[in-house]
Amino acid sequence: MNNPLIEVENLRIQFKNDGKITDAVRNVSFSLGKEKLGIVGESGSGKSTVGRSLLKLHPRSANVMADTMRFKELDLLHATEAQMQKVRGNRISMILQDPKYSLNPVVTVGKQITEAFLVHTKVSKTEAKERTLAMLDAVKIRDPKRVYDLYPHEISGGMGQRIMIAMMMIPEPEIIIADEPTSALDVSVRLQVLAVLDDLVQQRGLGLIFISHDLNLVRSFCDRVLVMYAGRVVESIAAKDLDKAQHPYTQGLLASLPSLENRRDELPVLQRSPAWLEA
Amino acid sequence: MSETTMASITKTAAAPNSRYHATMENAKRTARRILANPLTMGGIIVVCCLILIAIFAPWLSHYEPTVQDLTNAMKAPSGDHWFGTDEYGRDIYSRIIWGSRVTLYVVFLVTVIIGPVGLAVGVISGYFGGIVDTIFMRITDIFISFPSLVLALAFVAALGPGLDHAIIAIALTAWPPIARLARAETMTLRNADYITAVKLTGASTPRIIIRHIVPMCLSSVIIRLTFNMAGIILTAAGLGFLGLGAQPPIPEWGAMISSGRRYMLECWWMVAFPGMAIMMVSLAFNLLGDGLRDALDPRGE
Amino acid sequence: MSMIEIHDLNLSFGEREAATQVLKNINLAVEENESFGLVGESGSGKTTILKCLAGIFNHWTGHLQIDGFTLEKKLQKARCRNIQMVFQDPYGSLHPLHTVESTLKEPLTIHGLDRKDERIDEILVKVGLGPDFRYRYPHQLSGGQRQRVAIAHALILEPKILLLDEPTSALDVSVQAEILNLLAKLRVSENLTYLLVSHDLAVVAHLCSKIAVMQHGEILETLQSGDLAMTPENHPYTRMLVDASHQYSRDMASAAAMVID
């Protein structure tokens, strides 16, 4: 890939807890262009840790090492906190899982979006509000003026997530990291939120990292997929080629999912091999 | 711990093979967590010293705490009297040693009263809700609106001063926060899935409350009680200072400060040593409470 | 006579103006040894039906019958030997301070059953755990293991009916298959009747032969799980759920938007 937006080589992250050291991420390498990259894994696979490490959002006790961790011309690994503050929310944004927890409950949603904009851009308050209303429209919210004044507890999950997207997109970032953005949503709302995300990513030519445990979803939404297991990337493959996955973990995972078309009496259970921890 | 990492790590510890074994493992782990913090260790050591001093008071003290010797009154600390003497010639060091018994007596009795009472009221109130909750909480409100000293004054006016009356007065004002705490915990717990599951197996309400809800409230209550102990000591000392608690010649630390107050400027030792004793013991209980709180959270895993 | 019969079940929360009707005229029947699935999104009322059957909610109106016995509003002890429930969150359904043994022994003590140790050993084997697990605490178990213990706890009283509230939603994908296989096996070996609630159509289709699709407190349609894939005859909402369970596509997203409001 020429001119990748993000390039990561041999990322290693260790956490210290109660004197014990855990290798959360082990030698993960990948690059991201103007595409939708999915990172799939179960709990403990390290997928969220990878996402957060790009924005240096891990606790201070964590040990982050890498051969390369670059965002365009910026060296993320050695960036200072001041430099990272200019990046977070401005050039790289992050959408989290549950808007109930990521939106401030005592501030109206409109104000939160405006604030996100004003942090990085110096404009008048009126202009910021206009931009916010335009952004609310862009995420397909039907009555932006009314929704502007609502509090987070007054909106549904799907709308909350679209507001998160608005908040993260308004500073016009170049990359979006979405960590399980639709896991807390109902199936029908999920599709709408993904559609909004899809449109915005395409229109603005952004790079998207989509972190999820839902293999089927990532397969149909993303262009490329990374499968993580116990801190390592075990498979890196184009989404449409997932049927031809090479690694036994991916194959096992795909086979063990219940499916409407392929009805079986007994689901093949994933047999873990200790070799996967090394491979 | 996730499924993935757990399955891939071979379990090296042997699975507990009996109920006793399992409880011991649990206790050992908690003990290890408590002992890991040096400040907590400090608190534990001081509290243990207090208990030992109280037990071995007759052997540790040099003089009888109540024997007066007016020729030796208000002497500075020396080889004979490590902490000096008070205005009646009594050895302050010995009085502090014996005073530890009084302190422990007060702390123990008050805790033993307010712990179970607060827990019971709080858990019943929180579990049943509705009219039961309203009644209990209004009663709690009545008690909590009295500052402890004011209530003690009222009690003393009614019954006369004395250590036991002071203990009752302190207990009466110290139980409501425990009840509130237990109630708050119970209200969160009563909707938990495991409570629903056990209801579905036909468990009776007493069984649910005693076996399932109370154990979960215990650690918060114990921690709160430990923090309370420091406050109890200070309140008892305050009452003693006002002449409402232990009556002379009982060597209560607060009363010692009170009587030493008059001579404080010339004889600093009459006030300083009891004051330090109170401070150290209060601090020790606070540190112990902190350590317990860090180690005892059942949901911390 | 069906194992579970529900007639005109209605349930509302709140008073007068603020009242929301959560269940509207629910009618369904589950035969003996059948596995019946309730599918729907959040707010559809599917879990509420389970809670009414389990006796967690008591202010419903209508007629509920289990194994021929009419259910009273109060939870009777005898009901516990007939119907049990497995909950969604394996991390919340076991008491954190009780060992596995303690958790499993309690129902036996409450109902005065004999041969307690034997029964505990048997049930642990049936759910795929061994005697090793007897003295462990929940925080020493993985999510899948906890769910197995929860299933053991539900089955130790030998009920005829098992209510399953999203039993695999909170589990890792790789563990899901194990638990689904276990549940399928147990239904046959223990002669159980299942009423399963899930938002995941594939899971419901795997375990259940008959499915009711719910939305906004109503049953939209009831069908055989085999007929799910046959799209034209189904209710548009059902079709939307089926399509959405597979994948994402731009067209589907627009179609979904039309079915909601």
Contact at CB, A195 and C245, closer than 8 angstroms = no
Tokens of B48: 């243990």
Asked if C188 has any chain A CB less than 8 Å from its own CB, the reply is: no
Residue carrying the six token digits 């495991």 = B194
Contact at CB, B2 and C135, closer than 8 angstroms = no
Identify whether B7 is part of a domain: no
pLDDT of residue B1 exceeding 50? no
CB A215 within 8 A of CB C173: yes
Tell me the whole-structure pTM to 2 decimals.
Answer: 0.85
Neighboring chain B residues of C111 at a CB cutoff of 8 Å: 201-202
Whole-angstrom distance, CA of residue A78 vs CA of residue C16: 62
Q: Tell me the H-state helices in chain A.
A: 47-54, 81-87, 99-102, 109-120, 125-138, 144-148, 157-169, 187-204, 215-221, 248-256
Best CA proximity match to A45, nearest among B94, C71, C172? C172
Q: What is the pLDDT of residue C253?
A: 66
**Residue B111, domain CATH:** 1.10.3720.10
Whole-angstrom distance, CA of residue C231 vs CA of residue C242: 8
CB A46 within 8 A of CB A13: yes
Residue B10 CB neighbour total at 10 angstroms: 6
Q: Which helix (H) or strand (E) holds A12?
A: strand A6-17
Contact at CB, C177 and A187, closer than 8 angstroms = no
**SS3 breakdown of chain C: % helix, strand, coil, rounded to 5?**
40, 25, 35
Whole-angstrom distance, CA of residue B85 vs CA of residue B94: 10
Question: Using a CB cutoff of 8 Å and minimum separation of 24, what contacts does C101-104 make?
Answer: C101/B19, C101/C134, C101/C135, C102/B19, C103/C149, C103/C153, C104/C149, C104/C152, C104/C153, C104/C156
pLDDT of residue C259 exceeding 60? no
Q: Where are the domains of chain C?
A: 4-226
For residue B249, cis peptide bond before it (omega within 30 degrees of 0): yes
B interface with A, Cβ–Cβ below 8 Å: 1-5, 7-8
Q: What is the pLDDT of residue B298?
A: 47
Asked if C149 has any chain A CB less than 8 Å from its own CB, the reply is: no
**pLDDT digits over B284-300, tens only?**
998 888 888 877 764 44
Contact at CB, B201 and C84, closer than 8 angstroms = yes
Q: B92-128 vs B38-55: helix axis angle to the nearest 10?
A: 120
Comparing CB atoms, the residue among C42, C176, C205 nearest residue A186 is C42
Q: What is the pLDDT of residue B227?
A: 87
Interface test with A, best of C172, C215, C261 (most A CBs within 10 A): C172
Residues with pLDDT less than 70, chain A: 1, 279
Question: Residue B12: helix, strand or coil by DSSP?
Answer: coil
Confidence of residue B181 (pLDDT cuts 50, 70, 90): very high
Identify whether B1 is part of a domain: no
How far CA C156 is from CA of B197, C119, C152, C181, C190, in Å, comes to 13, 7, 6, 19, 11
Q: Which chains touch B (3 or more CB pairs under 8 A)?
A: A, C
Close Cβ partners of B221 (under 8 Å, ≥ 6 residues apart): B115, B118, B119, B178, B181, B182
ipTM comes to 0.86
| Cα within 13 Å of Cα(C2), Cβ side | 16
Asked if C181 has any chain A CB less than 8 Å from its own CB, the reply is: yes
Identify whether B80 is part of a domain: yes
Neighboring chain B residues of C77 at a CB cutoff of 8 Å: 202
Interface test with B, best of C135, C151, C169 (most B CBs within 10 A): C135
Instruction: Look at B133 and B65; give whichever has higher pLDDT.
Output: B133
Contact at CB, C245 and A187, closer than 8 angstroms = yes
Comparing CB atoms, the residue among C56, C97, C136 nearest residue B298 is C97
Q: What is the pLDDT of residue B300?
A: 45
Whole-angstrom distance, CA of residue B74 vs CA of residue B83: 10
A interface with C, Cβ–Cβ below 8 Å: 42-43, 186-192, 194-195, 198, 213-217, 219-221, 252-253, 256-261, 263-270, 272
| Cα within 13 Å of Cα(C191), Cβ side | 6
DSSP code string of A220-242: HH-SEEEEEETTEEEEEEEGGGG
Contact at CB, C56 and B6, closer than 8 angstroms = no
Identify whether B39 is part of a domain: no
Contact at CB, B4 and A42, closer than 8 angstroms = yes
The DSSP symbol for A212 reads: E
How many domains are contained in chain B?
1
Confidence of residue C261 (pLDDT cuts 50, 70, 90): very low
pLDDT of residue B15 exceeding 70? no
Asked if B1 has any chain C CB less than 8 Å from its own CB, the reply is: yes
Question: Residue C128: helix, strand or coil by DSSP?
Answer: coil
Confidence of residue B4 (pLDDT cuts 50, 70, 90): very low
Strand bridging mode A68-71 / A63-65: unpaired
Mean pLDDT of B53-57: 90
Q: What is the pLDDT of residue A134?
A: 92
Q: From its phi and psi, is residue A11 left (phi > 0), alpha (psi between -120 and 50) or beta?
A: beta
Residue B43 CB neighbour total at 10 angstroms: 23
CB C62 within 8 A of CB C217: no
Name the minimum distance, in Å, from the CA of B4 to any CA of chain A: 6
Neighboring chain A residues of B29 at a CB cutoff of 8 Å: none
Domain with B278, as residue range(s), is 56-300
Minimum Cα–Cα distance from A228: chain B residue: B4
Whole-angstrom distance, CA of residue C141 vs CA of residue C58: 34
Identify whether B95 is part of a domain: yes
Contact at CB, C75 and B215, closer than 8 angstroms = no
- By residue count, chain A amounts to 279
Comparing CB atoms, the residue among C172, C241, C260 nearest residue A42 is C172
Q: What is the average pLDDT score of chain B?
A: 84
Tokens of C44: 């559809």
Contact at CB, A188 and C174, closer than 8 angstroms = no
Confidence of residue B242 (pLDDT cuts 50, 70, 90): confident
Mean pLDDT of B203-218: 92
Size of interface A-B (CB pairs under 8 A): 23
DSSP code string of B60-118: H-SS-TT---GGGTTPPS-SSSTT-B-TT--BHHHHHHHHHHHHHHHHHHHHHHHHHHH
Whole-angstrom distance, CA of residue B153 vs CA of residue B244: 8
Whole-angstrom distance, CA of residue C192 vs CA of residue C182: 13
Residue A155 CB neighbour total at 10 angstroms: 19
What CATH number should be reported for the domain whose range is C4-226? 3.40.50.300
Domains detected in chain A: 1-91+190-279 (3.40.50.300), 99-172 (no CATH)
Whole-angstrom distance, CA of residue C97 vs CA of residue B117: 23
Best CA proximity match to B110, nearest among B56, B172, B67, B152? B172
Q: CA C72, C77, C81, C84: dihedral to nearest 10 degrees? A: 70
Neighboring chain A residues of B11 at a CB cutoff of 8 Å: none
Tell me the residue ranges of DSSP E strands in chain C: 4-13, 20-30, 35-40, 61-66, 69-70, 83-86, 161-165, 193-198, 210-215, 218-224
Size of interface A-C (CB pairs under 8 A): 101
Identify whether B77 is part of a domain: yes
CB B3 within 8 A of CB C142: yes
Neighboring chain A residues of C241 at a CB cutoff of 8 Å: 187-188
CB C249 within 8 A of CB C235: no
Asked if B17 has any chain C CB less than 8 Å from its own CB, the reply is: yes
